[in-house]
């Protein structure tokens, strides 16, 4: 079974530029999460989708971050404009059902904002 | 607010010894407690999880115990091997109305050959 795919793996941008990350979930997984992992810390949830709908986006900085999940499958996370403090690894995770159970993570995208 | 504390932040053991990592959580409504292993440059990998209706769960050399009264849970790794070296994260589910996981700050485990 293929795992969660993410691209790009690395991205370097200057502050105030925009960037987008892509996630392809495990086939059949209804729940999709985007996490931000700052160096030396645990992942922090940014947004959660159940199929097409947003379940929780309470920690998403909506003035600069946006996310969508097309047709309940692939998802993109965008940052515009980026700030220095956005430097982190952005992780996508997916799960087979409702609830927080059995989340499987992709390899992440390491973003560096200069 | 929801919080998960994890200790120790670093742990060094000799190959073959046991390793124990402990976490405490704040939300008494939490009912799901997974553990993840993260190797350098990779995403976290689910290694074991436990739900609140169970006090202990074991999978080969890995076991997790849960004390809901005290709101703490622990990861036990026996007969450690060098390939166990990684960062380990505990997590707890949020309140029953939320699907989120709250992660601890991680434990860097080093197994010395």
* B35-58 tens-digit pLDDT: 999 999 999 999 999 988 888 999
Nearest CB among A48, A105, A106 relative to B100 is that of A48
**What residues 90-109 of chain A have any CB closer than 8 A to a CB of chain B?**
91, 93, 98-108
Nearest CB among B46, B98, B105 relative to A103 is that of B46
Which one has a higher pLDDT value, B107 or B94? B107
Interchain contact A28–B (C-beta under 8 A): no
Instruction: Give B4: exposed, middle or buried? Use CB within 10 Å, 0-12, 13-18, 19+.
Output: buried
Confidence of residue A51 (pLDDT cuts 50, 70, 90): confident
**What residues 21-60 of chain B have any CB closer than 8 A to a CB of chain A?**
32, 34, 36, 41-46, 49
pLDDT at position B97, please? Answer: 58
Non-local CB neighbours of B75 within 8 Å, separated by 6+ positions? B19, B20, B21, B35, B48, B62, B63, B64, B88, B90
Q: Which residue of B has its CA nearest to A110?
A: B41
Best of A10, A34, A100, A109 to mutate (most B CBs within 10 Å, chain B): A100
| Nearest residue to A24 (alpha-carbon basis) of A46, A3, A51, A52 | A3
pLDDT in tens, B12-38: 999 999 999 999 999 888 889 999 999
């Amino acid at each position: 079974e293929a795992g969660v795919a993410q691209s790009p793996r690395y991205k370097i941008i200057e502050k105030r530029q925009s960037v987008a990350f892509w996630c392809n979930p495990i086939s059949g997984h209804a729940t999709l999460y985007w996490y931000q992992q700052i160096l030396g810390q645990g992942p922090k949830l940014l947004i959660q989708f159940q199929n097409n709908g947003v379940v929780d986006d309470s920690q998403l900085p909506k003035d600069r971050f946006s996310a969508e999940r097309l047709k309940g499958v692939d998802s993109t996370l965008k940052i515009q404009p980026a700030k220095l403090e956005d430097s982190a690894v952005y992780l996508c995770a997916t799960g087979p059902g409702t609830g927080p159970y059995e989340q499987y993570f992709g390899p992440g995208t390491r973003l560096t904002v200069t | 607010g929801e919080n998960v504390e994890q200790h120790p932040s670093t742990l060094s053991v000799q190959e073959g010894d046991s390793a124990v990592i402990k976490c405490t959580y704040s939300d008494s409504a939490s009912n799901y407690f997974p553990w993840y292993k993260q190797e350098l440059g990779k995403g976290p990998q689910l290694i074991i999880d436990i739900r609140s209706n169970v006090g202990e769960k074991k999978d080969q050399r890995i076991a997790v115990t849960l004390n809901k009264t005290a709101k703490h849970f622990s990861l036990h790794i026996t007969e450690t091997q060098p390939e166990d070296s990684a960062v380990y994260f505990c997590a707890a589910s949020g309140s029953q109305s939320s699907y989120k996981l709250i992660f601890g700050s991680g434990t860097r485990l080093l197994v010395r050959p």
